[in-house]
Structure 1
Amino acid sequence: MSMNTVPERLAALREAMKANGVDVYLIPVGDPHASEYMPDHYTALTYFSGFHGENSNFVVTMTESAVWADGRYFVQAEKEIAGTEIQLMRMGEPGVPTAEQYCGKVLPEGGTLGLCGLTASCGLVRSLQKELDAKKGTIKLLNLEDELWTEGRPALPATPAWLLPKEYAGFSPAEKLGQLRAKLSELGCTAQLVGKLDNLAWLLNLRAMDIQCTPYAMAYCYVTPDKATLFINTARVSAEAAAELKANGVELAEYDDVLTVLAAQTEEQTVLADPVSVNYAVYQTLQANPALTVKDEADPLLPMKGVKNEVELAHTREAHIRDGVAMVRFQIELENRLAAGEELTELTIDEILHKYRSAQDKFLTESFGTIAAYGPNAAMMHYHATEEDHAKLEKKGFLLVDSGATYMDGTTDITRTYPLGELTEDERLFYTWTLQCHIDIARAVWLDYCDGHMLDTIAREPLWRHLINYRCGTGHSVSHVGNVHEGPHALNGRNTTVFKPGMIVTDEPGVYEGGVVGIRIENELECYHKASNQYGEFLAFRPIMFVPIATSPIVPGVLSRDELDWLNAYHREVFEKLAPRLTEDERDWLAKKCAAIGA
């Protein structure tokens, strides 16, 4: 039977459902590791529905089907499912059920819902079961995605796996395993199944290139008091890396054997499994083993990884200075080519950035796809220029560039908004207020009980005064040689993680006026201990990213004296740190960009 169109794929899926005694089948967007960005192998939802969105579920019954999309994807989803039977469920709109509620409604009394336990999170399965209970429905684990999607499916990634040397990581895998075991015993556990790739990468200093722009390997690790088993496609682990892992008390097992090996464990353990990041198939296998007692706890590796050690901090500061040199060279070339009247587009930006970043020592990869957005395009927060759809740069308005890189010694994330010529009064005001927000959080001082959502308000206050807000967080944590978004701390209205010295966070407030303009100014900040006195422990931030911030758009008289002093001091530091690494012409250019204002 041909399987080239969505209706044909749905027909095949329904045949397989019938053969397996399943009334409803659910396909989530997900991989076995609760990853934010996933390998193409895990795009089954797109294969069966035609929809290319994140944060989605696709539900199929014998007679109907529906796909869930959030606000970012309403327009795109409509286009992509046009001409099929699939209904669009606009998440968050009045009267629209969740995927779980819908399943509860369409499941026949005593019916069976099927899903693949490897790509479904425990949270999803638990909320499904709640909805199915009213119908006395059961959940059956089966993998129709693998059974039906055989042709043209991207293979599971298996890029070479290697270990980040201790000189960059600060601790060996054996030392980190020791830290984790101590933490587990505090939590009343003896073992842990680590499912999340960033936590596993940190624990074992393990790196690969399985996910675009993210240097991680698809793997699991089962840690007990006296050994650790890494489940990975062993063919990709070099003899040298395998020997080093063995010397650190880590045994290798095949990635595909994880369920069999966990089911066969006979040693009694109390296993910590974080239901947020351990997939349902693994979780259920642990639970079904009589030797194991499963304990639901938040993964302790996240806070351990969130506070950077002294070695990581020293290296990341150095990586950011090299990145700053690349950013300066990028800006000089951009300005020169625009001045010469060359025709440039948003796509040119990525090429120039890559040229200068990849020439830097220890460069591994971009840390995410560059966002270069000119004029009104920048008002769309996650805009990406494509070959088919991109803007030409003109000598007016703003160009927003959000980019970053991962080096052997650190990961960077920076945004600058560049004036390309004449600006409107509104553009100048929005820019100035955004800069005020950026500066106010960068120079914040607080007592050590403050958490992410308390600090977030400091950043927004200058915009709130003008009755403007931005609908995203002010900042996120960044991994060390890893993913560009990590936890546990962040600056946003929901984060309750208390800030601690050694945490790194981005500072990226913005103004996004639909169809008009988008402005963002982003540095990475390091939290440090500022002082202790009779009132307690005071913490503060200092920037680790040193790249000039455009001063020409600033409206005079808006920044306070303290804000101006911060900006001028920052620019002095930018010059001091970057000048020794630049040519004489580049230094002259930088001196002009870093000149004090409002003296």
Structure 2
Amino acid sequence: MTANEKLALLRVQMKQAGIQVYYIPSSDPHMSEYLPDHWRSRAWLSGFSGSAGVMVVTETESALWTDGRYFIQAARQLEGSEIVLQRMKEPGVPTVTEYLTARLSVGDVLGLDGMITSAAFVGELEKAFEGKEVAIRTVDLISPIWTEDRPPMPATEAFVHPLEYTGLSAAEKLAELRKNLAKENADSILLTRLDSIVWLLNIRASDISYTPALLSFCLVTPERTVLYTNEERLTPQVREHLAANGVSIAPYARVLPEVEALREPLRMLCSQEDLSYSLYAAMVANECITVVEGAEPVQPMKACKNDTEVACLKNAHIKEGVAMVRMEMELERRLADGEKLTECDVHDILNRYRQPLPLFLGESFSCISAYGANAAMMHYSPSPDHCAVIEHSGLLLLDTGSQFLDGTTDTTRTYQMGPLTDEIRRYYTYVLKANIALARGVFMKGCSGANLDILARSQVWQYGIDYRCGTGHGVGYLGGVHEGPHSMRMTNTYPLEPGMIVTDEPGIYEEGLVGIRIENELLVVPACSTEYGEFYRFEAVTRCPIDTRPIVRELMTFEELDWLNAFHETVYQDLKEHLNPEEQAWLRQKTLPIA
């Protein structure tokens, strides 16, 4: 069926339910960024496959909102449908709430699925609709029309993440969580975020592509911990591990009725951003539950990596660097021999070198292998039927990462494939300067991404250029490649603390011309303590050489070149013992100091 045909079926359901407008988020019951295929209803309905976006369907029109990372992709994938693309934060573009408010009249009903819509968004709508006499009804209208090809709910086999990689047992983490709840004047929490649950309990599965998630909820009270999941996926080893750490098991579907049925007096910490509207409403309606509004506490607990996690993560980056070196060597050799290679071939070559690496589990996200103008689409991914041939000119952008049992990696490099225009060489240098500016940053305790994003962005701003995304994001530990609560963007005010990982990935994206991004993962570490307070700095943990061929050297300062030379020497020293003599010699040439 086409998108328009699916929308026609949805409108039949809307009419039967007495609903004038229907809202479709990109979400699941866990407010996940990357979704199990079962809940990719917005993508199924619209044809737009990007990870970020929401839809609104009225009786006569439909619209889709997405952010700047996906403007180009969304415009292409929506072409031929009735759906109007709303480019978020662009001049004249209404927000979703503004759009809904303008189209709902007195007596109208807005429909949405309360199990996959956040309580925070529903609260925003209720405030916007005050005095308008618009009703909000929780109803799933997608399931009746998405029947034949809808993937089932995932239930992959769970496994234990061993203590030698986690540094803390699940029981120790649960004890720390209960202490943190007490600090918020609470004693209980229903965890819904999958990354929080698997980290807390030291278990993993593969319920989401690229992310070792276990579809589950976790109730933590003063006396008990209950994991709600499909029990059939739990091996005897996992059951034994959970029992040893004081965790009982219940069916996944029991979570909502059990919240409704709780009869012990509990002070439950709730983050409306992380909790579905249906679950939040059940808590509010339960007279035994006192709702305590506050941020979900496991996110900051796992954001600050412990010593074991940091050591393991550094080892994971060395392995990733080895694979990247071998991939680049083979790519250079085969292109020099006149072979015809595509973007997909680059991805396949890299994965061939990753597969034998110790503790490798898979990729951490869909590889972005983008040649030439394709790289201007920030989240472009090639496919066998849409895969550019790599020529002996221009740039190749490779954004990729791995899941190892001892860590999660995310690395981007942009490689010179042949002659470049002066303009593209300058763009490349601007991006490298932006990357180094952030990496060299020293900052006071209490600073956040909102304070530091400008260190990178100002390097391109001075040329009248910007990039429509943040400069970086947190990275999980055998978890999601995007995890918070911190990030490197102008809107994130969560303070950076030692042990946090954040990516450093500024870029320049010119539609139809080029896309350039250079990304390292940075570890926040102490710098010094003076009469003025505590200061932190960044330590780059990525171990992959940066292509120096496109650099316009006269645009680089001595301090920038010193940082780059020191980084490359560290890359060489950390990787050389894992490489054969030919690979060592190649890497030595790639990491020679720039005078």
TM-score range, shorter chain: over 0.9
Name which of structure 1's ranges 7-16 and 215-224 shifts more when overlaid on structure 2.
7-16
| Gaps in structure 2 of 5+ consecutive residues | none
Give the corresponding residue for 2:532. 535
Tell me by how many angstroms 1:97 deviates: 4.3
1:242 partner letter: R
Which stretches in structure 1 are left out of the alignment for 5+ residues?
none
Counterpart pick for 2:183 among 183, 186, 203: 186
Once residues 297 and 192 of structure 1 are traced to their aligned partners in structure 2, the CA distance between those partners, rounded to angstroms, is 11
SS of residue in 2 equivalent to 1:217 = coil
Distance 1:238 1:266, change over 3 A: same
Q: How does 1:91-110 map to 2 (within 5 A)?
A: 91-92=88-89, 96-110=93-107
Confirm or deny that 1:68 pairs with 2:88.
no
1:361 to partner: Cα distance: 0.5
Amino acid at match of 1:197: L
Per the alignment, do residues 507 and 76 of structure 1 end up closer, same or farther by CA in structure 2, a change over 3 Å counting?
A: closer
Match of 2:198 in 1: 201
Deviations 1:407-444 (A, max 9, x none): 00001111111112222222222222222222222222
For residues 115 and 352 of structure 1, what CA distance do their matches in structure 2 show?
Answer: 44
> Which amino acid in the other structure matches residue 175 of structure 2?
G
SS at the partner of 1:221?
A: strand
Normalising by structure 2, what TM-score? 0.94
Q: Deviations over 1:522-579 (max 9, x none)?
A: 1111111122233322211111111111222222333222222222222221111111
Aligned to 1:58: 55
Q: Secondary structure at the match of 1:32?
A: coil
* Equivalent residues in 2 for 1:222-241, closer than 5 Å: 222-241=219-238
Equivalences for residues 23-422 of structure 1 within 5 A: 23-61=20-58, 63-70=59-66, 89=86, 91-92=88-89, 96-422=93-419
Q: CA deviation at 1:358?
A: 1.4
How far the C-alpha of 1:398 sits from its partner, in A, is 1.5
Matched, 1:518 2:522: no
Aligned amino acid, residue 558 of structure 1: L
The whole-number CA distance in structure 1 between the counterparts of 2:437 and 2:24 is: 44
Q: Secondary structure at the match of 2:554?
A: coil
Q: Deviations over 1:489-525 (max 9, x none)?
A: 1222122122211111111122223322222211111
User: Could you say what secondary structure the match of 1:557 adopts?
Assistant: helix
Shift of 1:240: 1.4
| Alignment partners' CA distance in 1, 2:282 and 2:98 | 26
Asked if structure 2 preserves the Cα contact closer than 8 Å seen for 1:68 and 1:91, the reply is no
Give the 3 Å change call, closer, same or farther, for CA 37–285 of structure 1 in structure 2.
Answer: same
1:519 and 1:575 map into 2 onto residues whose CA distance is 24
The 8 Å contact of residues 64 and 86 in structure 1, kept in 2 or not, is answered as no
Q: Alignment identity in percent?
A: 45
Deviations 1:97-120 (A, max 9, x none): 444344444445334333211111
- How far apart in 2 are the matches of 1:584 and 1:76? 43
Could you tell me how far apart the structure 1 residues matched to 2:5 and 2:459 are?
55
Q: Which amino acid aligns with 1:587?
A: Q
Matching residue of 1:509:
506
For residue 173 of structure 1, report the CA deviation from its aligned partner: 1.1
Q: 2: distance between equivalents of 1:78 and 1:444?
A: 37
- CA distance in 1 between partners of 2:260 and 2:283 (Å): 7
SS in 2 for 1:144: coil
2: distance between equivalents of 1:454 and 1:367?
Answer: 28
- Sort the Cα spacing of 1:442 and 1:88 in 2 relative to 1 into closer, same or farther, 3 A: closer
Q: Distance in 1 between matches of 2:103 and 2:559?
A: 61
C-alpha distance after superposition, 1:312-332 (max 9, x if no partner): 001001111111111111111
| CA–CA distance in structure 1, aligned partners of residues 440 and 50 of structure 2 | 38
Task: Tell me the distance in 2 between the aligned counterparts of 1:195 and 1:41.
Answer: 17
What is the CA–CA distance in structure 2 between the aligned matches of 1:131 and 1:146, rounded to whole Å?
A: 28
SS in 2 for 1:531: strand
Which residue type is aligned with residue 137 of structure 1? V
Give TM-score, length-normalised by structure 1.
Answer: 0.94
Structure 2 counterpart SS, 1:271: strand
Cα distance change, pair 488–559 in 1 and its aligned pair in 2 (3 A): same
Structure 1 residue identity aligned to 2:286: N
The aligned residue for residue 587 of structure 2 is 590
Q: 1:467 to 1:10 in 2, by over 3 A?
A: closer
Instruction: Spell out, residue by residue over 1:367-404, the C-alpha distance to the aligned partner (whole angstroms, 9 max, x if none).
Output: 11111111222222222222233321111222111111
CA-CA distance at 1:364 after TM superposition: 0.5
- What SS is found at the alignment partner of 2:434? helix
Q: Pick closer, same or farther for the CA change 1:54–1:363 going to 2, 3 Å.
A: closer
Query: C-alpha root-mean-square deviation of aligned residues, in Å?
Result: 2.2
Corresponding residue for residue 471 of structure 2: 474
Cα distance, 1:92 vs structure 2:
4.5
For each residue in 1:303-344, what CA deviation from the matched residue of structure 2 results, as whole angstroms up to 9, or x when unmatched?
111111111001001111111111111111111111111111
